[in-house]
Amino acid sequence: MAHLKTAVSKGDHTLGNPKAAKVLVEYGDYQCPHCGLAFPFINRLLDNYGDEILFVFRNFPLQESHPAAMMAALAAEAAGLQGKFWEMHDMIFEHQASLSADTLLHLAEKLQLDMQKFSQDWRSQELMSRVEGDFEGGLRSGVNGTPTFFLNGARYDHYNETYESLEQMMRD
């Protein structure tokens, strides 16, 4: 069984209870249809398990299959520098079928981001390095597709695109 090689840290994007006994890490791709299917399941898991879970999202853009994935990851990170990572994350998944530079700029405007700062950050080497760091950490952890989930450091290989399979992971 594969294990998470990069420990969860303050630099990660997290939702939920930082002291939770269950830490769920997703390596995801914003243009991946399977990640799009998992998105509402993760939100439901967070609603149902509340303080029992900490969720971490890490970027794993599969650029050969999903040409807009890197651009979307960089947009989420750029929004994160203005305190709106999760809002952009959610909006990107909600508009997954129409991802483009124009769509991402429209979403940033909708979030009332400082557009000059967003445009600069979106193209910055700093954010590119962050996304590449997530990707490399995923590779070291045995990630070879998206979404890939790790619960408390151990890869969970029984996700079958149902909410019930994620809920089973929480009960195991």
Tell me the per-residue pLDDT of 20-44, one tens digit each, with 9 for 90 and over. Answer: 999 999 999 999 999 999 999 999 9
- Alpha carbon distance 4, 153 (integer Å): 5
pTM: 0.96
Q: What is the mean pLDDT of the chain?
A: 96
pLDDT category of residue 96 using cuts at 50, 70 and 90: very high
Return the bridge partners of 33, or none.
none
Return the bridge partners of 26, or none.
57, 149
Give the sign of the dihedral formed by CA 55, CA 112, CA 63, CA 140.
Answer: negative
Write down the CATH number for the domain with range 13-171: 3.40.30.10
Answer yes or no: is pLDDT of 1 > 80: no
Answer yes or no: is pLDDT of 77 > 80: yes
Question: What is the DSSP secondary structure assignment for residue 51, as one 8-state letter?
Answer: G
